[in-house]
A = this chain, B = another copy of it.
Amino acid sequence: MANQLTFNVAVVGATGAVGKQMIRILEERNFPIKQLKLLASGRSAGKTVTFKGQEIVLEEATPESFAGIDFALFSAGGGVSKELAHHAVNHGAVVIDNTSAFRMDPNVPLVVPEVNMDAALAHNGIIANPNCSTIQMVATLKPLYDRYGIDRIIVSTYQAVSGAGQSAINELQAQSREVLDGKEPTCEVLPVGKLPVHHQIAFNAIPQIDVFTDNGFTYEEMKMINETKKIFGDEQVLVSATCVRIPVVYGHSESVYVELKEDYDLAEVKSLLENAPGIVLVDVPEEQKYPLATDATGKLDVFVGRVRRDLHHPRGLHMWIVSDNLLKGAAWNSVQIAEELIKARA
């Protein structure tokens, strides 16, 4: 691709927590944009957003919005993706969808560039962006998967409220003030806005993200379980997950236990992680250095630390994985897929 080549890009859901980050990253990365189209609900149409010093007027997303678009980045909820993604594809756009609408569709690749960019190259118009908590885990485990193979993963998450959108961020902040002031906290959003019961998130830990399935796991947990298999292209990678919302604004943390298929050398594991693309090893316990959500906020990388040998299982390994859920977990992974597609076409 010649350097002067530029692309028409649409962001669908431009006013949402992830959409805003997509716009910011397109600017920061100096993505080769010819025209940026910002699409939202009719409610937001007419508002303006600044991009590279220019005011862009938000338009209502309709089937016709995608004429001439090269990349359509969707993050406006599964319903909007199901309604509009195929229109974008029919107009010749590549859709990179950040919702769960198409993730498990066998015709749609589910992509983390560090893991399975080859799948993205074989797309049929739509590429799905995995769930935030899955992305940071599989990106970190990829070099270990390649070197040793993985038998099973047991993960417990410590997830930020921003994964549930701007209203959840507002709720955590408002509740925190209420509790600090000795008032009764107002609970209207978390754990799941549309469900009847809402729990306090300020100064609490809620072991529910998304709704429950019949097997006692939540959809969020099943996403980690099923998406990991699809991204590795390996049904034999067994995942068990417990997904928990904690009072953090940005940055998902994960306590990950993994059983490799082969014996490993701990120094080699750390070296593999240190040299893996997109991964930053932060692991100096004696200096109290390990990944923290507050340090990961605003960064594109995935941070891993507390890497240590299980005391009992010879192939068992523990680690602590942290990343900004709105960036590598969502907006950046989407933009990164687009960047890699452009590179591959070059």
Contact = CB atoms under 8 A, between A and B. Distances in A.
A197 B309 contact: no
A220 to B, nearest CB: 13
Nearest to A283: B216
Contacts of A305: 207
Contacts of A248: 203-205, 246-247
Interface in A177-207: 177, 180, 191, 195-197, 199-200, 203-207
Given A191-B288, A216-B306, A238 B205 contact: no
A163 to B, nearest CB: 14
Interface stretch (A69-77, A150-158, A330-338): A150-158
Nearest to A192: B288
A225 B291 CA distance: 23
**Number of copies of chain A assembled together:** 2
A294 B255 contact: no
Interface stretch (A10-18, A122-130, A132-140, A310-318): A310-318
Interface residues of A, number: 58
Nearest to A248: B203
Given A191-B288, A288-B208, A216 B152 contact: no
Given A238-B311, A238-B312, 15 more contacts: A152-B313, A154-B154, A156-B156, A176-B176, A177-B180, A195-B288, A203-B294, A205-B248, A207-B255, A207-B305, A216-B285, A217-B308, A217-B311, A240-B257, A242-B320
A51 interface: no
Interface of A: 152, 154, 156, 158, 172-173, 176-177, 180, 191, 195-197, 199-200, 203-208, 212, 215-217, 225, 238, 240, 242, 244, 246-249, 253, 255, 257, 285-288, 290-294, 305-313, 316, 318, 320
B246 A205 contact: yes
A206 B292 contact: yes
A240 B312 CA distance: 8
B244 A255 contact: yes
B207 A306 contact: yes
